[in-house]
């Protein structure tokens, strides 16, 4: 679209035809209220950022077009190579992953995105009531009795949020977008056929997505080569705010569950201070390890893996296998040799044999 605007006469070439077919993927058009440029968008999209002057417009209903003032962005500070390096560094680190992945990982695609989020800045205050189970012993000797009773407990807690609500209807257009909400699983280990699945997954922290935000600046976006990667929003500010209220209440209710044995009542008040449209730069990546495809998203502001799938290293599996079998082996060894129990001796030898066999076959077969 940008090309078409700068070149008044488009020659009848294959390229021009291609342009025409891209235009049909955007079935609606609107004029930018600030600079008058044509803004192409799809049906259902209602938060549109002008790729020429950067003005954000919201279609809040029939004939109701509003300019969005709270419009900011996180600077795109990671380039394509930086995104690849963030992923490979991450793959080499930790108990579950392996340095040898870095050599065998094949990056298939690295796609830059400027994604629209509504950031709902708010404070949530939660009060809860519940009861805790207690026991009391009375009497002594034969008259000793234990009574169980419940003691009422209550409390309140509050938390500040810069709650991100993704501004599009479906988060599966780009992999991993739904996972960066606080409390959602963001790291997905692939255990293959291995059945002793201990750990390796992680949840998203309550991170401040507004940290380092700057006013939206289209020149910065153009300089980073991302002006064509601006993704329009489909969810209006009003809906985002209401969704955030619901999600924050759910988040607080889950937190309250740990406060008492039985929770009878939870009430959360959410005070919204500000709702901003923030464009967040991300890198969506697809990569292969040992012929299997995995996905990841890397933060575009700093080299950080936000969400990813990864294969659990063979080294980690062997360690888990040996630890799990090692404990009964040690117990059998103690009973077998310490107390001279012949069956326990056989159990020990069987377990040690299994551990050795597993470690050797898996360990020798792969570098991971
Ligand atoms: Zn404009």
- DSSP class per residue in 228-246: GGBPPB-S-HHHHHHHHHH
**Which residues, at least 6 apart from 33, have a Cβ–Cβ distance to it below 8 Å?**
55, 57, 65, 67
**What are 295's two structure tokens?**
């996905």
Q: Check: CB of residue 290 under 8 Å from CB of residue 91.
A: no
| 50 CA from centroid of ligand 1 (Å) | 5
Q: Which residues surround ligand 1, an ion (CB under 5 A)?
A: 32, 34-35, 37, 50, 52-53, 55
| Cβ atoms of residues 88 and 110 within 8 Å | no
- Rounded to the nearest 5 degrees, what angle is found at the Cα of 320, between the Cα atoms of 319 and 324? 120
Distance 38 CA to ligand 1 centre (A): 8
Q: What is the pLDDT along the chain (368 residues), one digit of tens a residue?
A: 344 444 444 444 444 444 444 444 677 888 898 999 998 888 889 999 999 999 999 987 777 888 888 899 998 889 999 999 999 999 988 888 888 877 788 999 999 999 999 999 999 999 999 999 988 888 888 888 888 899 999 999 999 998 888 899 987 788 888 888 778 899 999 888 777 777 888 888 877 766 788 999 999 888 888 888 899 999 999 999 999 999 999 999 999 998 999 999 999 999 999 999 999 999 999 999 988 999 999 999 989 999 999 999 888 888 887 777 777 777 777 777 777 777 777 777 788 787 777 777 766 545 45
Q: 276 C-alpha vs ligand 1 centroid, how far in Å?
A: 19
User: Per DSSP, what are the bridge partners of residue 127?
Assistant: 156, 267
**What's the pTM?**
0.69
**Ligand 1: distance of its center to the CA of 51 in Å?**
7
| CA distances for 132 relative to 45, 138, 259, angstroms | 50, 19, 9
HSE, side-chain direction, 13 A CA sphere, residue 52: 16
């Amino acid at each position: 679209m940008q090309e078409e605007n700068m070149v008044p006469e488009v020659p009848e070439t294959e390229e021009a035809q291609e342009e025409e077919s891209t235009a049909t993927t955007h079935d609606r058009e609107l004029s930018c209220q600030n600079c008058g440029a044509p803004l192409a968008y799809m049906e259902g999209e209602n938060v549109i950022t002008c790729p020429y002057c950067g003005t954000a417009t919201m279609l809040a209903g029939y004939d109701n077009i509003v300019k969005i003032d709270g419009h900011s962005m996180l600077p795109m500070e990671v380039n394509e190579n930086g995104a690849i390096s963030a992923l490979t560094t991450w793959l080499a680190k930790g108990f579950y992953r392996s340095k040898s992945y870095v050599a065998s990982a094949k990056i298939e695609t690295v796609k830059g995105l400027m994604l629209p989020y509504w950031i709902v800045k708010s404070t949530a205050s939660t009060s809860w009531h519940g009861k805790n189970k207690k026991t009391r012993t009375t009497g002594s000797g034969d008259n000793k009795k234990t009574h169980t009773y419940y003691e009422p407990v209550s409390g309140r807690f509050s938390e500040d949020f810069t709650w991100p609500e993704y501004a599009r209807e479906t988060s599966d257009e780009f992999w991993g977008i739904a996972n960066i909400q606080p409390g959602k699983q963001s790291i997905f280990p692939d255990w293959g056929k291995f059945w002793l699945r201990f750990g390796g997954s992680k949840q998203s922290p309550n991170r401040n997505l507004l940290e380092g935000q700057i006013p939206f600046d289209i020149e910065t976006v153009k300089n980073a080569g991302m002006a064509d990667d601006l993704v329009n929003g489909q969810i209006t500010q009003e809906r985002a705010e209401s969704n955030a209220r619901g999600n924050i209440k759910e988040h607080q209710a889950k937190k309250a569950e740990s406060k008492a044995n039985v929770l009878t009542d939870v009430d959360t008040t959410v005070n919204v201070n500000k709702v901003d449209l923030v464009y967040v730069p991300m890198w969506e990546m697809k990569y292969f390890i040992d012929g299997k495809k995995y996905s990841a998203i890397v933060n575009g502001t700093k080299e950080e893996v936000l969400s990813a799938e990864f294969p659990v290293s063979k080294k980690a599996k062997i360690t888990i296998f040996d630890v799990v079998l090692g404990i009964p082996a040690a117990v059998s060894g103690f009973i077998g040799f310490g107390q001279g129990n012949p069956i326990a001796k056989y159990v020990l030898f069987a377990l040690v044999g299994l551990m050795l066999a597993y470690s050797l076959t898996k360990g020798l077969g792969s570098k991971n």
